[in-house]
Amino acid sequence: MDLKDHYDFVIIGSGFGGSVSALRLAEKGYSVLVIEKGKHFRDTDYPETNWNLRKWLWIPALKCFGIQKLTFLRHASILSGVGVGGGSLVYANTLPKPKAAFFNRGSWAGLADWETELEPHYKTAWQMLGATVNPKLAESDLALQKLAEKINKSSDFSPTTVAVYFGQADVTVSDPYFGGRGPDRKGCIHCGACMTGCRNNAKNTLDKNYLHLAGQLGVTILAENKVTSVKAKSESGKERYSINFSRSTSYFSKERSVTSEIVIVAGRVLGTIPLMLKLRKSTLPGLSPRLGEMIRTNNEALIINTTTDRELDLYKGVAIGSILETDENSHVEPVRYGKGAGFWRITMMPMVSERNPIKRILRLLITPFKEPITWLKIFFVRDFGKSSAVLLFMQHLDSTLKIQNGLFGIRSKIEKGKAPTPFIPEAHELALKYSEIIKGKPQIMVNEVLAGIPSTAHILGGACMGSSPEEGVINEKNEVFGYPGMYVFDGSMISANPGVNPSLTITAITERGMSYIPKKN
C-alpha cells in the first residue's frame, strides 16, 4: 500500500473510537490514516468454530492472526478484539445505555452534564450501528425468562437491543441503512456464531458502517501494522507528531514512519495503555502520572452452564438475545456461541463458590463425585457449543486496578477497593438456578477455580478524564494533557463503571468529541 509522508490525522486503532473518528474527520475534509495491528477480514475469513485457533485467536508469535485476544494478568483474565473493526468483530452485538449513576461517578464527574450532552450522540450511535430489538427469543433466552419468573423479576426481563440486520433470514438485500452508500447485507439466520465472526453478513460490525463510509471518503486503513513510537516534533506546524510503525504479522519488519498534525490513540485499553506508558518513558515524558490508573472490569462473572438434555439447542439465536435486571446494580445475560464452538470446554471446571483456596480445591475434587453420572455427561457432552449457555453477570459496583509495563509485559495491581473476584454470591446463585432450568451444571474457567482470578470482556479506563493532569490523562474533550493535538478515543477513556457493554458509550463519547473538531478550512 502506498502511503503519503504526511496526514492531517493519524488514528492508532480501528475499534469503536477509531472508526467513528475516521468517518467524522473525513467528512470534515481531513486526510486520515488508520493504523490497525489486526487483519482485515471478509465474511468468509472468519472461522466456522473457535476450534480453528489460527483464525480465531490473536497470538502472532504462533502465527495465529484471529479476532480474539486473551490476556492474563494477576487480577483479571481479559478477552478483547483484534482486527479492522476492533472489538466489533468479536463482541456480542449488545448496545445498552448505562444507568443514570454512571454519568455522575468517577473522575469525569462534574466536567460536563454528561447524560444530557451525550443523549443526542447515543441516538446517533444507535442509528449508525443499526440498533434494533432482538425479535426472536431462543431457548437460552426462554430459560432466563423462566429464571426471572422464579425470582419474581418477570417485569425486569426483556430482549436486548443489538447491532444486527435481521430482515429476511439468509436473504441478501441492498444497503438497508445508508441510502445505498453501505454494503449489501443478509438477514440473520440466528446461528449464534456472532462472537467467532459473523460469516453471514448480518452483524453490523464497524467495517460495514463507519469504516466502510470512511473508506469511500478517502480514509486509508493500514492493517497488520503496529505503532511502535510517537514523537512530538514541535509545538506548532503541520508536522507536529512523527509516528513509527512496523508489521504486526511478521517476525522481522522494517519500521516506517509518517507525520501528522494530530494523533488519535484508539488502540483499545490493552493497546493504548502499554503504548502510552512506553512513550512516557521515552518520547512523551509529560504524560499524566495517572496514566494506567483507574482500570475497571465491570465487576463481571462469566459462568458456563452446560445441559445434559440433548434436545436443547442453546446455540440458536444472536450472541446475547435477552437481559434480566436482578437489582439496581446488577444484571445477567445468556451468551451463546455457535454450534460446534467448543474450545472453552478445555478451560472449564465445576463451579465452586468457596473463597478460601484450600477449601475451594477440596470442594472442586469432591463435587464431581456427588453426581458422577451427571458430571460425566457434562464433561463428555457431544457438542459443547450446542449444549452450553454462558451467564454473563455484571455490576455497577466499583473497584479499580492499575496497569504497569513490566519485564515480561503488562502487570496489574490493586489501586482502590477490593480486588475483582469470580466468586460473586449473586452470580453463583443465579447460575445454579439457571442450570436447574436447563437440566445442567455450571462451570467456570480453570484460572478462576485454581487462582481466584476473574475473567472479563470489558476492560476499561487507564487514560481517564480529569480536570487536570493530577486528576486524569485527558480533558473533557478527550485531549491529552500536555500534548496539544493528541487525543484518546477508546475504552481507556471510560472514567466510571458503566456496568454494561461499553461499545455504545465509546461510540457516543467519540461522536461528541468529534463534534468539537472544526471543518478543515
Q: Which residues are catalytic?
A: 458
For residue 344, report the phi and psi dihedrals to the nearest 5 degrees.
Answer: -65, -20
What is the rounded (10 degree) CA torsion for 305, 311, 316, 317?
A: -80
Q: Residues 6 or more apart from 77 whose CB is under 8 A from it?
A: 70, 71, 445, 447, 453, 454, 455, 456
Side chain identity at residue 109, one-letter code: A
Q: Confirm if 15 and 269 have CB atoms less than 8 A apart.
A: no
Measure the CA–CA gap between 370 and 39, rounded to whole angstroms: 47
Measure the CA–CA gap between 6 and 260, rounded to whole angstroms: 6
Q: Residues 6 or more apart from 408 whose CB is under 8 A from it?
A: none
Measure the CA–CA gap between 164 and 187, rounded to whole angstroms: 9
Please give the helix or strand (H or E) that residue 216 lies within, else none.
helix 210-216
Measure the CA–CA gap between 385 and 507, rounded to whole angstroms: 31
Measure the CA–CA gap between 216 and 209, rounded to whole angstroms: 11
Location of C-alpha cell 474533550: 477
| Helix, strand, coil percentages, rounded to 5, for the chain | 30, 25, 45
205's grid cell: 460490525
Side chain identity at residue 473, one-letter code: V
DSSP string, 165-199: --SSBT-EES-SSSTTSS--EEB---BS-GGG--T
Q: Confirm if 195 and 46 have CB atoms less than 8 A apart.
A: no
How many CB atoms are located within 10 Å of the residue 261 CB? Answer: 18
